Amino acid sequence: MPREDASTTTRGSGPAGGDQGHGRTVAIVGGGISGLAVAEAIERLGAADGIPIRTIVLEREAAPGGKIKTQRVDGFVVETGPHGFLDKEPVVFELIDRLGLTSALVTADASSARRYIVRGGCLRALPSSPPKFLVSGVLPAHQRFRVLLEPWVRQRAADATDDESVFDFASRRIGRGAAEVLVDAMVTGIFGGDPKALSLRSAFPRMMELEATYGSLIRAQISITKARRRAGGTKAGVNPAMGGGLNSFRMGLGTLTDALAARTHVRVGFDAAEIQVPFCVRGQGTEVRADAVVLATPADVMSGLLEPIAPDVAEIIKEIPYAPVSVVVHAFRRADLPSTVVLDGFGFLIPHHEGREILGTIWASTVFPDHAPEGMVMLRTMVGGARRPELMALDDAEMLERVRAELVKIMRIPPDTKPVFERVLRWPVAIPQYTIGHASRVDAMDRLEARIPGLFATGNAFRGVAMIACIVDAQRVAERVVRHVAAKRT
């Protein structure tokens, strides 16, 4: 079996060369944002500590990026996976800066601040302030009143093993009615998931923290807003060049993964099938030897790779379910849509009990006007999720027809409007679901690091599905990898 190393598998622009004289090699399995970010961080942190570490990212597909792939079609910037990232994590902007991409950033247009929800088949704007919420029709009066009682709801005495579902938490704090509408839609938007199945502790740890610290989510919001105002209005750690909110790049999110891949050794078309300890990663007819390995694949693949070396952990990791999601893109000429078609916001989400065939639609060209040519409108509709996986079986023609039918009903797009283009992008293993018990699965994976020194794991399967959470986790894992490599040298 031919042995390959970074010198023969370089795609990016990093230094070439074999093991000899170049310090240590770390193999990373999976070239999504997690794998690429961990590679960048390992090489950088190693160099800062005077430890030359060469990384090699092994990616199964023909191109790196994982869920982040941007298609550029006739002036449209079409995101196949994520749409943007929030400016909550300074390390993300530091990375963007190091890559020289700060000037390529775009911030969501102010007109996308408004968000809609579907109630009774109709679009309703979500109120932007508590007084507006009080008079809005987004919930019946008694449910709105119940939400406002939240500060007086007693905190639940939770211990370290407590694993309340997102739905139970929300029902307890803001009432069942509001949970079924507002929280259901939020969970759909982030996880494509079922709030009754997801663990609050794992899926929304911040909510749990806020309840523990302030005793109430509303009180927490008021205190945080006041503190922010006192501190001068900007969020701590936010790039001062940014206006806040959601971000992307002028040419789409692929800008970030492309730039990371360009400065990393990436071996595409490498379908990792086996890991030998201490470390050799085998693909078809080829292998890569390394001093440490970082797994950055979806959990099902990770489980398969761990099976021969840690069958107990492989079994546990296999329990992390994934929701399938299809992204259905429609582009129209604005002039072909009547003025009654509203596009003045981010888009809309649909609570599950509305019984629709779509999860929601992002008005992509309103959010990032640079992503569509002048006079064009681009919509991205999500289909499937944890509660409608069967819709993934629809062929493209049927899926396009069903989505069009929903857009006609919900957005009042005339049925005979011809799209400029439409396409279906499928992710059968799209978004991991942090279901009840998830924390114990993450613990099992963490304990494996002590059992098999030199084997690490990162990726969206564990500590956050947002791309910024993947970058933050990659950074933390990289620190541990560099410590491991440094310890091996002494």
Ligand X SMILES: Cc1cc2nc3c(=O)[nH]c(=O)nc-3n(C[C@H](O)[C@H](O)[C@H](O)COP(=O)(O)OP(=O)(O)OC[C@H]3O[C@@H](n4cnc5c(N)ncnc54)[C@H](O)[C@@H]3O)c2cc1C
Residues that bind ligand X (CB under 6 A): 29-35, 58-61, 66-68, 81-85, 270-272, 296-298, 301, 325, 327, 427, 430-431, 459-460, 465-467, 470
Please, which residue, 218 or 431, has the CB nearer to ligand X?
A: 431
Please, which residue, 171 or 188, has the CB nearer to ligand X?
A: 188
Least distance to ligand X from the beta carbon of 274, Å? 10
Least distance to ligand X from the beta carbon of 485, Å? 22
Least distance to ligand X from the beta carbon of 430, Å? 4
Least distance to ligand X from the beta carbon of 143, Å? 28
Please, which residue, 195 or 283, has the CB nearer to ligand X?
A: 283
Least distance to ligand X from the beta carbon of 362, Å? 8
State the SS3 of the chain: CCEECHHHCCCCCCCCCCCCCCCEEEEEECCEHHHHHHHHHHHHHHHHCCCCEEEEEEECCCCCECCCCEEEECCEEEECCCCCEECCCHHHHHHHHHCCCHHHEEECCHHHCCCEEEECCEEEECCCCHHHHHHCCCCCHHHHHHHHCHHHCCCCCCCCCCCCEHHHHHHHHHCHHHHHHHHHHHHHHHHCCCCCCEEHHHHCHHHHHHHHHHCCHHHHHHHHHHHHHHCCCCCCCCCCCCCCCEEEECCCCHHHHHHHHHCCCEEECCCCCEEECCCEEECCCCEEECCEEEECCCHHHHHHHHCCCCHHHHHHHCCCCEEEEEEEEEEEEHHHCCCCCCCCCCEEECCHHHCCCCCEEECHHHHCHHHCCCCEEEEEEEEECCCCHHHHHCCHHHHHHHHHHHHHHHHCCCCCCCCCEEEEEEEEEEEECCECCHHHHHHHHHHHHHHCCCEEECCCCCCCCCHHHHHHHHHHHHHHHHHHHHHHHC
Least distance to ligand X from the beta carbon of 273, Å? 7
Least distance to ligand X from the beta carbon of 67, Å? 4
Least distance to ligand X from the beta carbon of 21, Å? 28
Please, which residue, 35 or 454, has the CB nearer to ligand X?
A: 35
Please, which residue, 59 or 180, has the CB nearer to ligand X?
A: 59
Least distance to ligand X from the beta carbon of 10, Å? 17
Please, which residue, 44 or 426, has the CB nearer to ligand X?
A: 426
Please, which residue, 143 or 381, has the CB nearer to ligand X?
A: 381
How far is 490 from 414, CA to CA, in rounded Å?
Answer: 70
Long-range CB pairs of 82-85 (<8 Å, 24+ gap) are 82/253, 82/467, 83/246, 83/248, 83/253, 83/362, 83/364, 83/367, 83/380, 84/108, 84/246, 84/247, 84/248, 84/253, 84/367, 84/368, 85/246, 85/247, 85/248, 85/253, 85/466, 85/467, 85/468
Least distance to ligand X from the beta carbon of 89, Å? 11
Please, which residue, 95 or 139, has the CB nearer to ligand X?
A: 95
Pair of tokens at residue 437: 């018990």
Least distance to ligand X from the beta carbon of 232, Å? 27
Please, which residue, 51 or 126, has the CB nearer to ligand X?
A: 126
Please, which residue, 10 or 34, has the CB nearer to ligand X?
A: 34
Please, which residue, 301 or 399, has the CB nearer to ligand X?
A: 301
